[in-house]
Amino acid sequence: MAHTGTTRLETQLLHSGIAEFNPKTQSAPVALPSMRTSTVRFASLEALDHALADKADGERIATYGRSGMDTHAALEEVFCELEGAQRAFLAPSGLSAVTLVFMALLNAGDHVIVADCVYGPVRHLDKTVLRRMGIEVSYCRAEPGALEPQVRPNTRMLYVESPGSLLMEMLDLPALAEFARRHKLVLAADNTWGAGYVYRPLDLGVDVSAVAGTKYIGGHSDLMLGAVMANDPELVRRLNETHYAMGYSISADDAWLALRGVRTLPIRMRQHAENALRVCEFLASRPETARIYHPAWPQDPGHALWQRDCHGSNGMLSVELALDHAQARRFVNALTLYGIGYSWGGFESLVQLVEHAPLAQHSYWGGGNNAVVRLHIGLEAVEDLVADLAQALDKARA
């Protein structure tokens, strides 16, 4: 990273992972090019020997194209800046990053406690892979009092997501870190919501952070990307070995897109967050709204934790509406500016009707027959987004 003389992340993100000056011409491109290769050449066997020795010592050395060249290294540097980490490992998607955490840090016969608010596909990973590998998984509300009875002699890891998937449940990460230390557990967290910019789990005591760079890092809904970050040398070693053994690789073009996206991350997230609060204000004024799930919203039960631990927010929120299933479907179908889709973090607004079956797996959910809708509030004019919600709610009630 260039020496900026500042610790402000907004500045660091613009000066991390940039191209070095050409020693001959003393010039450099503003944007680091996408460096594609499958083969890395060495000037001599001695140079290769030196590279292999450094790699064996755990350094980030490219000896084959799968690990990537300068573009990949630049993106890893950016993830380290965002998360306050010593090492970052890139993965083809957010779920593959989560998979790397489980496969690197658990062995057959181990037990892991998973917060019941995690990203739904983690349960599918458990059902289809972890059980077959002899790894036991328990799901529980991520609070020390609830977690204590779940600890077994073979428990090795506590895996959480904060805020939680679907309902944005804020977790007390420092308290969970103290609990994990007391029981000698690795604490791993999905930090996709915070993206390292508005939430830094490693600073709060978490051992390993996983992020889906598909979301706010890329910011334009045009790439798939995951990353895993850590500081502890032993955890870094295990992640490094498993990352190599599993053959993880991302394209140089996707790394380049992520680098391009992350330069505007602070501006985008601030605007997403501002728009989301405006939408919350509108929803709170509607008679159909039973509850808003958004930690930056002052009435959210996790607001105090958000104020203590986060540096900002984003465009993600869920809303419980006093609508039956048919009315909820009419509401979603009547929206014109919100695309119906499963991802988020791009520039566009999205909507998802949340089924009650996955909600029932979250102890944070109070139950009932009300509809729950998840919204990603994009970068459109917020007045238009509010007007679209208003007309759709009117049609749902009609």
Question: Which residues are annotated as catalytic?
Answer: 66, 119, 190, 215
In the chain, the largest separation of any two C-alpha atoms, in whole Å, equals 77
3-state secondary structure the chain: CCCCCCCCHHHHHHHCCCCCCCCCCCCCCCCCCCCCCCCCCCCCHHHHHHHHHHHHCCCCCCCCHHHCCHHHHHHHHHHHHHHCCCEEEEECCHHHHHHHHHHHHCCCCCEEEEECCCCCHHHHHHHHHHCCCCCEEEEECCCHHHHHHHCCCCEEEEEEECCCCCCCCCCCHHHHHHHHHHCCCEEEEECCCCECCCECHHHHCCCEEEEECCCCCCCCCCCCCEEEEECCHHHHHHHHHHHHHCCCCCCHHHHHHHHHHHCCHHHHHHHHHHHHHHHHHHHHCCCCEEEEECCCCCCCCCHHHHHHHCCCCCCEEEEEECCCHHHHHHHHHHCCCCEECCCCCCCCCEEEEECHHHHHCCCCCCCCCCEEEEEECCCCCHHHHHHHHHHHHHHHHC
Counting every residue written for the chain, the total comes to 398
As given in the structure block, the two tokens for residue 254 are 């996707």
Distance, in Å, from the CA atom of 172 to the CA atom of 208, rounded to the nearest integer, reads 16
Distance, in Å, from the CA atom of 333 to the CA atom of 323, rounded to the nearest integer, reads 14
Spatial CB neighbours of 350, under 8 Å, sequence gap ≥ 6: 338, 339, 340, 341, 343, 344, 375, 376, 378
